[in-house]
Amino acid sequence: MATKSSAIKTNTYTKPEIAGYMTGMFGQNMIYQIATTGLYFYFQNVICLPAMALGWIMALARVWDAVNDPIMGNFVDRTHTKWGKCRPYLIFGPPVIMVITILAYFNSNYADATTAGGRVAIIAWAAVSYILWGMTYTVCDIPLWGLTSVITEDEGDRAKALSLARIAAGLAGIGILVVQISQAVGASFEASGLSHSEAQRKGFIVTAIGMTVISTILFEFAGLSTKERVAGSKEHYTIKENFQIMWKCRPFRQILLSGILRSPMMLLLINAMTVVTYYYANGDIMNVIGKDGVNMPILINMILVAGMMFVGQFLGMGLAPKLMQKFEKKNLYNFFTLIGALPYAGMFLLYLLSGGDVKPLAWGVPFSLFIFLAGTAMGAINVLQSVMIADCVDYEEYTNGIRTDGVFFSGQSFITKLSSGIAALISSVVFSAVGYSGANVDKLNDALHEGADFLTYDGGTGAGKYAAAMMFIISIPPAIGMMLAAIPTWRYALSDTEHTRMLNELVARRAAARAEMPEE
């Protein structure tokens, strides 16, 4: 149990500010879901990009972010305006993200392309639009999380803000409904005479426009309703020095390495809608409404799988701040990382024991329980990671006198994006190996639309291979990644007691500096 001392309480945010910040965080993460979960499903299952092309697009975009994120963090730390250093990006950046997010959906079906040039153009536009989206998203993502370090000097209030931010981001997980809503909208287009493939494509475009516009409006609240209270340092590192300081700061380096090793955890998130749509709803979420009314087995399974994941995440995010008041952050982080490997392994074990069909409730209930436990670990880890990165900002200011909110929080953005890229590449390798790629996906969609069963569909690759690949992807790699992720942080370099001592001294330094400033 950690020995805690209270930091000096002063200069913190108001309730309307934190409400506005959470609203903005919700809007931003809605856009994230639209452009990650939504686009991934759209690229893979609607316009049917080849599996390896999709994997490399995602992975290369994340490699670029490895360079782009610290550079953006440097820009944030060097920004000095009447709004502060973070808020300008949150005021003027969201509309740009909105436009690029929408444009990424304006693409054609790869399976329908009749020329090599047409196929190349489809892949190229997917790559360019997705990379551009990642760059513009970074412009706002780093300042959004960095804002938590400059709207308050109080350690408890900052931890509360980060926890609430994680909860708001978790609530925005409803953005994965972009897939279901798009399929429902697509069904209305199909009723008007369009082919199933074209109707689904237009359904995604229309839904992406509507949801992105609404999310952008909400996003704006983060910049418009807050106030920065902690002044940035007058001295700054160069971009080269930023890369060096990120690596030289031992606690930050440990968090960064742990996050990278934990990347396979993202496989469950990026493939969740593919699993729900194909494994449970047989290729079309609208199958939940059958000819004779609601298809209860599909509906119950969807509620169990999706609902338990979200409930688990919220429980983890809600528990983490309370547990941090009693236990050392590094111990909690390592506990949830190691214990979080077990439910992933359990999911695949149940799949094998069930003979490949976990849809009957006898298997579905324990399967959803494992998903719930995986979500709980994920939610707690996300909160702990954010708070520990914020602690690293204080560590750097205390040690070297320069506050690097933007640079260090760019590391959080980098972890999230690189994790998605690595997860997408793993998915692509597995899916490519079983033939779930390109024109084969288009053929699968047509077959399921005509009444085929996904669990027994052959498609020339062997019955049940697609389902087995999906279950393997969301379970075994995440279990391995979670176990490996505890290695870098096992001997974490910044204790809670030491951080509290540093923060108290920093607050005293700032107060003394303000007292010495001449009155205007």
What would the pLDDT profile of 412-448 be if each residue is shown by its tens digit?
Answer: 777 777 788 888 889 999 999 999 998 899 999 989 8
pTM for this prediction? 0.78
Token couple for 278? 């194909």
Using alpha carbons, list the distances in angstroms from residue 146 to 254, 259, 386, 404: 19, 18, 10, 9
What is the structure's pLDDT at 6? 45
What is the structure's pLDDT at 4? 45
What is the structure's pLDDT at 290? 66
Half-sphere exposure of 250 (CA within 13 A, CB side): 8
What is the structure's pLDDT at 8? 45
Identify whether the C-beta of residue 320 lies closer than 8 Å to the C-beta of residue 379. yes
CATH architecture of 15-222+237-516: Up-down Bundle (1.20)
What is the structure's pLDDT at 377? 95
Q: Which residues have C-beta within 8 Å of that of residue 416, sequence separation ≥ 6?
A: none
**Of 66, 269, 271, 267, which is closest to residue 170 (Cα–Cα)?**
269
**Of 329, 341, 326, which is closest to residue 383 (Cα–Cα)?**
329
Q: What is the DSSP string of 199-254?
A: HHHHHHHHHHHHHHHHHHHHHHHHHHS----SPPPSS---HHHHHHHHHHSHHHHH
In the chain, the amino acid numbered 410 is S
Calpha distance 428→279 (Å, rounded): 18
For the chain, counts of helices (H) and of strands (E):
22, 2
Please calculate the CA angle 158-30-274 and round it to the nearest 5 degrees. Answer: 125
Give Cα 348 to chain centroid, integer Å.
23
Using alpha carbons, list the distances in angstroms from residue 406 to 70, 71, 205, 381, 392: 8, 9, 34, 21, 12
Q: What is the DSSP string of 137-184?
A: HHHHHHHHHHGGGTS---HHHHHHHHHHHHHHHHHGGGGGGHHHHHHH
Those residues of the chain that have pLDDT short of 50 are 1-9
Q: What is the DSSP string of 369-382?
A: HHHHHHHHHHHHHH
Q: What are phi and psi of 3, to 5 degrees?
A: -90, 120
Domain ranges (residues) in the chain? 15-222+237-516
DSSP 357: -
